[in-house]
Structure 1
């Protein structure tokens, strides 16, 4: 469906360019803010060995469990766009945007007593994405009437910088008896930052401008966008126990992660290579994906030269 919409918009812009003879070449610039809602929810990846589940225990027994799903497509965006009109109908744009998603719970466990054998209870991981992206697009202007000029555009999204920040808090064992049973509990807080692999997304929009003056217009857009982010590395940047910084007590394998498409007996992971784990090197873990699909509404100002 996304490919069909993109091709349809591209064909419409191409036909308009071929048939247009009335030249009106000009530059314009736009500054706007957007709010997006998520349009597609998928199951979140595993966070620190915890599956994307919401669990509730009573008296040490599991009483409810459900998958945690969502998308990081909900959030706020600010952006600056430079555009060039080849004629009255066809133009191109290049947008530079900063996006800040809303917080999303990725895994959660609630219990009134410690859960054996791990002893962990009241655990929660919350993720948030921040990113800068470039958004080149083709624009088809549909004609001006009484100050309004509707238009459509199709293009791609190219993230150039950003990360997924995952904040985890838990009540967990911090001391153990010789038998291995937990003897003391503490509040453990950690922050992990996931860096992505390069990716490309799709966007399309329907908008209109309204002339406020000779060179100034207000504009509004309804925009759909869709892309996924593939994790490359992860680093723990904060780790405290009862408010005390304990990051220096963590090994390199506990702090750093390299995401792989496959882990096996040669990987630096205790699950597949328990005898060959090197704690002085980053851990190898299976790669994960998160979605950033959303439908957004943008308001802003446009200045035409």
Structure 2
């Protein structure tokens, strides 16, 4: 789908450069809302040390296990776009959008007993992405007929602000003996916010406008977009045990995480550092990626100056 839309946009661009150049300079503005469905599912990253798995225990024994896959490309978007037509066929647009993804289960364990000899307990981690992005694009108008004017466009997506919020609820150990054996269990709730590194994505769209008046038109677009983001930092913003705020009792290493491409003996992580973890500093963990690919329908209004 992505390749086909890109080729269509490229071919239309080529035809435009060789074709009609009648002047029709004008500004226009568009306001619209979109709903996207995910188009590519990948395995989610590890969440709080838990692999992206859906496990089911019955009587303390593991009865099923499967990978949890998905994309944060499903969700709602609203945006405003400014456009400029150089001539009858060629124009450019700059969109500013706010996107909110659908909640996605990233890891889960279901057990019919609170705690078992092998350490199984019930928990669920759910993620949601919210983001603002800017979207510059090249637009190729394909000609007007009976009020309809189809067009195609290709461009890039540049997220400028946003995060991945992960909410986890578990019945888990909350106290341990000196030898590390759980001695008490409780309801644990936490919220982590992951800030991303800068990234750039790709988008392409097919659409049409329909004149409602001299300057007002309705428009519809079928848009494909694809990009991935990887974490930069993570911070725990909520942590409660049996409904009581326990965030103050967490160490810096438990609250803050720096994502890195490689762990070594100097990293603040007990897996590779022979000195263990310095609890007064943020934890170092391997950076992980999540996908935001989707196919969406946008409906809205266009005002031409």
Contact 1:117 1:181 in 2 (8 A): no
Task: Report Cα offsets for 1:65-113 as digits up to 9, x if no partner.
Answer: 0000000000000000000001111100000000000000000001112
Aligned to 2:165: 165
Aligned to 1:262: 262
Within 1, Cα distance between the matches of 2:65 and 2:168? 19
The number of residues matched between the two structures is 305
Aligned to 1:125: 125
Gaps of 5+ in 2: none
Q: Report the CA distance between 1:289 and its aligned residue.
A: 0.2
Task: Report Cα offsets for 1:220-250 as digits up to 9, x if no partner.
Answer: 0000000001111111011000111110101
Aligned to 1:110: 110
Aligned to 2:295: 295
Aligned to 1:140: 140
Q: Report the CA distance between 1:176 and its aligned residue.
A: 3.1
Within 2, Cα distance between the matches of 1:9 and 1:303? 24
Task: Report Cα offsets for 1:97-138 as digits up to 9, x if no partner.
Answer: 000000000000011124456745110000000000000001
Aligned to 2:20: 20
SS of residue matched to 2:95: strand
SS of residue matched to 2:265: coil
SS of residue matched to 2:278: coil
Aligned to 1:231: 231
Could you tell me the TM-score, scaled by structure 2's length? 0.96
Q: Report the CA distance between 1:178 and its aligned residue.
A: 4.8
Within 2, Cα distance between the matches of 1:10 and 1:81? 22
SS of residue matched to 2:248: helix
SS of residue matched to 2:188: strand
Within 5 Å, which residues of 2 pair with 1:1-305?
2=2, 5-6=5-6, 9-116=9-116, 119-305=119-305
Contact 2:209 2:218 in 1 (8 A): yes
Gaps of 5+ in 1: none
Contact 2:60 2:120 in 1 (8 A): no
- CA-based RMSD: 1.6
Task: Report Cα offsets for 1:183-205 as digits up to 9, x if no partner.
Answer: 32111000000000110000000
Task: Report Cα offsets for 1:252-277 as digits up to 9, x if no partner.
Answer: 01111111111021110011115242
Could you tell me the TM-score, scaled by structure 1's length? 0.96
Contact 2:72 2:128 in 1 (8 A): yes
Contact 1:41 1:71 in 2 (8 A): yes
SS of residue matched to 2:12: helix
SS of residue matched to 1:265: coil
Deviates more, 1:168-177 or 1:277-286: 168-177
Call closer, same or farther: CA 1:178–1:280 in 2, change over 3 Å: closer
Within 2, Cα distance between the matches of 1:239 and 1:274? 29
Contact 2:239 2:247 in 1 (8 A): yes
Within 1, Cα distance between the matches of 2:21 and 2:54? 60
Within 1, Cα distance between the matches of 2:51 and 2:276? 25
